[in-house]
Structure 1
Amino acid sequence: MYAAGLPRCSVVIADVYKLLSEVPDPEIPILSIADLGIVRDVVIDGEKVTVTLTPTYSACPATEVIEASVYEHLRANGITDVHVHRALSPPWTTDWISAEGRRKLAEYGIAPPAGSTAKKSLRGDDLRIACPRCHSTNSVKVSEFGSTPCKAAYKCGDCLEPFEYFKCI
């Protein structure tokens, strides 16, 4: 991986990103924090690694758990000088969820965000959300909020199964 005789940095940015892709989101553990798009930056200065995270919303109760998980996972993998910076601007958007993250949400039974926030309808009621089980768009919103504020509860009119939709934010 490294050419003989060249100095080797003990911490490599790509390795840090790989480790961050192993840190699960505590509310939706099938997603990593990288899948969710909350990892905004990694900066290495000598042995110091600074990870910038943007929470899904400023009052997210999982933010401190995520930050602690980043410290713990990086330290467990030999990176001891870890600093986490919380950035609230620009605010997180569902547009930052990776394609892999969207695929994982659907496989888990949560409908991923429909479209992008740039194209978001002012009235969420006119969105036709596809059921993650049968893919029918014959769905109806049951509640504006699901198990977390970022999800809404829906029911499929074809397979009759309830499901959650990860709202565009």
Structure 2
Amino acid sequence: MARFDKVLVVMGVSGTGKSTIGRLLSEALDIPFYDGDDFHPEANVKKMRVGKPLNDKDRQSWLEKLNALALEHKSTGAIIACSALKQRYRNLLEKDMGSAIHFIYLEGSFELIKSRLESRKEHFMPLELLQSQFDTLEPPSEAITVSIFHSPEKIVELIRGEIQ
């Protein structure tokens, strides 16, 4: 059983490196990693593939699934990558979690993230939806905030310094 008994939600807009950082943190802390994208219903994926942003109704069941996943790992720890763009979404994710959940906000400029997305291949999230993500984003007031300007290894080092 892992000694780290928190669920960490690595959040931010598409292209900030949530999956990369989540996987590296998972290895460093020896707890499982779950990519929230894998829990989207097919209808959501299809909608995003054609360039349509998701609305709150689209996200509801997805966020409920991720909350159930967090609850399942409440006492053993896990990393979940999830955009968690609005406070309302974060509230759904932390339902019944108490102090066992922490958000890690990967923060970056539109220009930097756009350049990353332009070089990314084989992802269902098209570049055209980046502005809608920034429009939706409500930066968290209670989160570990880390700039994506740093290397992935440095980001993980900074996060570990904050959580341990």
Structure 1 or 2: larger strand share?
1
* Higher RCO (C-alpha 8 Å, min separation 6): 2
Q: After TM superposition, is the score higher than 0.5?
A: no
TM-score (norm 2): 0.26
